[in-house]
């Protein structure tokens, strides 16, 4: 598992860079979680986790000075921890995925502090780069930009490297201890999570048009079909 955690940390750090650098939508939960799932050999679980989180945070857009919760790190950690815990336990159920989502979703709020630090650091870098530009020192500007990118990657990858083993250990230990009624409740929760996401989408339909509605209907139907199949 050590090698898998290291790979997820390295790739996850690069995916998080898309939030501030390339912005090719690779950092969106449905993309990042799916890529992590594919790397770990379970694309379906990655896609489901990413779709759930995409719906939940579809209305949280970084506009102006507002910095939303870091849904990218949350999607990577939830998908990876659920898959790795399932591999440790020998099976991956809907209840385990729901437990991973409920237990690790608050990490998005914690990871939000990383984004705040990156923004402040980039502001300082921009001010120093202006001074370098006045001195016509283009090499110093390039070094500052590369240092800012490296710092952002280290923070994101380091967060995953620290949090993922703890999350997998927690899920692997807690899930077998759950009573049958708790497992059934988590299975029901798995079915209702996309409904919450659909409610969020309907609340934003005035702003985003028909695309979120299409995604919501598709993903709700997929989740319900999966849930019914597993019961």
pLDDT tens-place string over residues 93-118? 888 998 999 899 888 888 888 878 87
pLDDT of 12-38, one tens digit each?
Answer: 989 988 887 777 788 888 899 999 999
CA distance 131 to 135: 7
Q: List the one residue out of 62, 60, 163, 161 whose CA is nearest residue 115.
A: 62
Residue 146 has pLDDT above 60, yes or no: yes
Residue 56 has pLDDT above 80, yes or no: no
CA trace torsion 158, 161, 162, 168 (10° rounding): 160
Q: Quick one: average pLDDT of 154-179? A: 92
Q: Quick one: average pLDDT of 106-134? A: 79
Q: List the one residue out of 159, 136, 140 whose CA is nearest residue 148.
A: 140
- What's the pTM value of the predicted model, to 2 decimals? 0.80
CA distance 229 to 45: 15
The answer for residues whose C-beta is within 8 angstroms of residue 28's C-beta and 6 or more apart is 50, 54, 71, 72
pLDDT level of residue 217 (50, 70, 90 thresholds): low
Q: Write out the two tokens for 10.
A: 């390295």
Q: List the one residue out of 102, 19, 120 whose CA is nearest residue 60.
A: 19
Helix/strand/coil (H/E/C) assignment for every residue in 155-170: HHHHHHHHHHHHHHHH
């Amino acid at each position: 598992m050590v090698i898998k955690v290291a790979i997820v940390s390295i790739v996850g750090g690069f995916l998080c860079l898309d939030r501030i650098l390339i912005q090719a939508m690779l950092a969106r939960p449905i993309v990042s979680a799916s890529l992590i799932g594919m790397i770990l050999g379970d694309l379906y679980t990655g896609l489901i986790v990413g779709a759930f989180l995409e719906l939940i945070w579809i209305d949280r857009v970084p506009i102006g000075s507002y910095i939303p919760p870091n849904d990218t790190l949350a999607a990577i950690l939830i998908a990876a921890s659920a898959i790795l815990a399932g591999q440790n336990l020998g099976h991956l159920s809907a209840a385990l995925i729901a437990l991973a989502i409920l237990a690790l979703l608050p990490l998005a709020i914690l990871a939000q502090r990383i984004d705040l630090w990156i923004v402040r650091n980039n502001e300082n870098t921009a001010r120093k780069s202006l001074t370098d530009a006045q001195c016509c020192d283009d090499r110093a500007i390039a070094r500052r930009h590369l240092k800012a990118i490296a710092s952002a990657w280290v923070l994101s990858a380091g967060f995953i490297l620290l949090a993922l083993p703890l999350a997998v250990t927690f899920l692997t230990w807690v899930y077998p201890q759950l009573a049958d009624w708790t497992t059934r409740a988590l299975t029901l929760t798995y079915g209702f999570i996309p409904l919450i996401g659909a409610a969020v989408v309907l609340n934003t339909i005035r702003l985003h048009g028909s695309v979120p509605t299409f995604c919501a209907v598709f993903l709700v139907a997929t989740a319900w079909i999966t849930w019914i199949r597993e019961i």
